[in-house]
Chain A
Amino acid sequence: MEQMITAVVSLTAIGSGLGWILGTAARRFAVEGDSRVKEVEAMLPAANCGQCGFPGCAGAAEAIVAGDASPTCCPPGGKVVALAIATHLGLTLEDDGVDEGPLVAVVEDALCIGCTKCYRQCPSDAIIGAMKQLHYVFAEACTGCNQCVEKCPTGAISLQSLPATASTWVMPKPALAA
């Protein structure tokens, strides 16, 4: 009987002691997620459009930090975001991060039936419209995340690149080698 009590008491003491040590260590020496993931996520457009093939911007940030994806994987972010992330992580962009300029959604007036599906989907509230009313996309707020294009039942929305105006035009880079 006495032996049994000794065994139970000592094992309980050892168990709780070790448990306390483990518990404290887990709290004291906790390893947080890679802080770069949060930083990269903050640079992405937060559209969660999934065009990169990862579950949302958080997933893409994780993949980029882990090296499974290139900083250029984000179509809505385009060159700006790719360059910012590459600089932040000290990566080099193989292909200059080239894209054909930002794409924005454009509603074809004749095809729009005013179903409001696109406008409910838009993550950045870039579409204005109401039932049975023609919808319109504010290019200024559009990231070109493609979600409205997929929702549109009549195929009235397409992504287009904005034509350059005199104030947005950039002189082309000379073609030859310097």
Chain B
Amino acid sequence: MAHFVIPPIRHLLTRWGIHPDAHKFPAADLGIVDAGLPPLIVLPLAQQAGAPARPVVKVGEHVLKGQRVADPAGAISAAVHASTSGTVIAIGEAPMPHPSGLPGLAISLRPDGEDRWVELHGDPYPIRLEPAEISRRVAEAGVVGMGGAAFPAAVKLALGQRSAIDTVILNGSECEPYLSCDDRVMRENAADIIEGSRLIMRATGAKRVLVGIEDNKPEAIDAMKVAAHPFPEVSVVKIPSRYPMGAERQLIYTLLGVEPPAGGRAADVGVVVHNVGTAAAVWRALRYGEPLIERVVTVAGGAIASPRNLRARVGTPLQWLIDRAGGLSRQPARMVVGGPMMGVAVGDLDIPIGKGASGVLALTHAEVGEREPSACIRCGSCVSACPVGLLPLEMANRIHAGELGQAEDIGLRDCLTCGACGYVCPSRIPLVQYFMHARGELVALEREGKRLDRVRELTEARSGRLEREAREKAEAQARRKAERAAAAKKETAA
């Protein structure tokens, strides 16, 4: 029934987005290669969206591959597991892929080389499990969204149990240039993805699965179609190549023609979106009981000698991955973890990859294409590129003038920070940087405001307490005085 869900006219009318050079080859045509065991594994505790995980191991403890080393802390968080067997040598700050370059908490492991697994509990027929049990086991395995945002997968599944979900969309668009890890996973592990998507369908109570794959990946589409063939409820749909097709709202609109309300979620229109890699991880978590401890990473860019896709353990340092891809052929102008559009520029090759790291890119000067920004010529290119229909130039103007509230009024919160506006800007204005600055500033103001509110409560509690104490003291004094007076009276009477 799904073959008529896309009226092609909608695609002709679509105006948003950009068409950057894909740069997917040669990595996309080379098979996934195992990255092997690095001499040091650094497991970031804040590698998922939400709260950082809480360590449950001690320094010096020996852990097995797949053993849980950190518990989720809070409703939105995910467990972290050891990606090989070895000894915990440190729990503390380590370099992290973060735009600030500031370190984050991590558990460092010295591998013992044996790579010995903890005992795993799979299920030969996981599709028979109850929906709640599926999301429980997904949480147990620490599965997070593998497209980049690393949102805990179990939280999304549980969300599906609370609201009526009718369609599961698998995101196989991989719209960021350079990246081909999802493409390779779809070509090589199509069956795992389809099985995983059926488990997600069962967990959320949806009726069908739509797999959206951009038309620049014909081999992946073929492989997925073959794997989906036995299941009538799963359909693979070819969608146009365009950035940011992989953004949740854009993908939903392209596939279904509906848009979640501003500020709302995909679940509001009965949809839940997962990355194809996440679906494969869900399958492996339930069928084999394997926690999410490895992922496929694209190591590419003009400065990489032989770009390719590597199956790497979570916590592998960037330097190790670059060496497995032939090393650097020249000095890169910028190192990026993730995609070139939304990834994080990093300066330290000791930084480990997390569960959400889809790529490690070493880009040359020509590829970065950085120029000095000049004044806005009001050409409107950013407006037509914006996938959400915002006015990036206006927002940037207001933020520049310090009017963050006004920028919020014209849609700052709806911005995906996809970078399409900055990419097309002929004046090379760092538009996204303005938006990220403004958002960060608004969050910081809100946090500080809440803190001051709590402090005010403390202050009021203290002055109340001091008043009460003074009053009690005065009362006690008066009582004593009265007693003394009574005693004196008695004495005189006697």
Q: Could you list which residues of chain A lie within 8 angstroms of chain B, going by C-beta atoms?
A: 45-47, 77-81, 83-84, 87, 96, 102, 123-126, 140-143, 164-174, 176-178
Contacts and interface: CB of A to CB of B under 8 A. Distances in A.
A169 B437 CA distance: 10
Interface in B415-457: 429-430, 433-434, 436-437, 440-441, 443-445, 447-449, 451-452, 454-456
Q: Which 8 A-B pairs have the closest CB atoms?
A: A170-B440, A169-B100, A124-B458, A171-B436, A178-B400, A80-B448, A46-B459, A166-B102
B402 A96 contact: yes
6 contacts: A45-B455, A141-B458, A165-B102, A174-B437, A178-B396, A178-B434
Contacts of B433: 171, 173-174
A141 B400 CA distance: 32
Interface in B349-405: 373, 375-376, 393, 396-397, 399-400, 402, 405
B2 interface: no
A15 B456 CA distance: 50
B448 A126 contact: no
Contact of B103 (A87, A140, A142, A166): A166
* Chain B interface, >50% SS class: helix
Interface in B181-201: none
A126 B456 CA distance: 11
B263 interface: no
A178 B429 CA distance: 7
Contacts of B461: 125
Contact of B455 (A124, A171, A174, A177): A124
B467 to A, nearest CB: 13
Contacts of B459: 45-47, 123-124
A176 B399 CA distance: 12
A79 B441 CA distance: 11
A171 B434 CA distance: 8
B458 A173 contact: no
Contacts of B376: 178
A146 B434 CA distance: 34
A128 to B, nearest CB: 13
A124 B373 CA distance: 47
Contact of A171 (B393, B440, B463): B440
Contacts of B103: 166
B98 interface: yes
A59 to B, nearest CB: 16
Q: Which of A143, A174, A177: most chain B Cβ within 10 A?
A: A174
Contacts of A96: 402
Contacts of A166: 46, 96, 98, 100, 102-104
Contacts of B46: 166-167
B458 A169 contact: no
B393 A178 contact: yes
Nearest to A170: B440
Nearest to B430: A174
**Dominant secondary structure of chain A at its interface with chain B:** loop
A168 B456 CA distance: 22
Given A83-B445, A125-B462, A169-B102, A174 B452 contact: no
Contact of A141 (B100, B102, B455, B460): B455
B8 interface: no
A167 B405 CA distance: 22
Nearest to B436: A171
Given A171-B437, A177-B400, A46 B460 contact: yes
B386 to A, nearest CB: 16
B301 to A, nearest CB: 23
A159 B405 CA distance: 30
A174 B393 CA distance: 14
Interface string B83-101: 0000000000000101110
Nearest to A78: B448
Given A169-B100, A169-B440, A45 B434 contact: no
Contacts of A141: 454-455, 458
Given A124-B459, A178-B434, 10 more contacts: A45-B452, A80-B449, A125-B462, A143-B452, A169-B100, A169-B440, A170-B444, A171-B433, A174-B373, A177-B375
Nearest to A139: B451
Given A141-B454, A165-B102, A174-B433, A102 B460 contact: no
Contacts of A172: 437
A32 B69 CA distance: 63
A123 B465 CA distance: 11
Contacts of B452: 45, 77, 80-81, 143
Contacts of B393: 178
Contact of B399 (A47, A168, A169, A173): A173
Contacts of A164: 100, 102
Contacts of B396: 178
Contacts of B445: 79-80, 83
Nearest to B404: A83
Contacts of A176: 373, 429
B437 A143 contact: no
Contacts of B104: 166
A47 B428 CA distance: 47
A169 B104 CA distance: 12
A92 to B, nearest CB: 10
A62 B373 CA distance: 46
A79 B448 contact: yes
B426 to A, nearest CB: 14
A5 B375 CA distance: 92
Nearest to A95: B402
Nearest to A44: B456
A173 B396 CA distance: 10
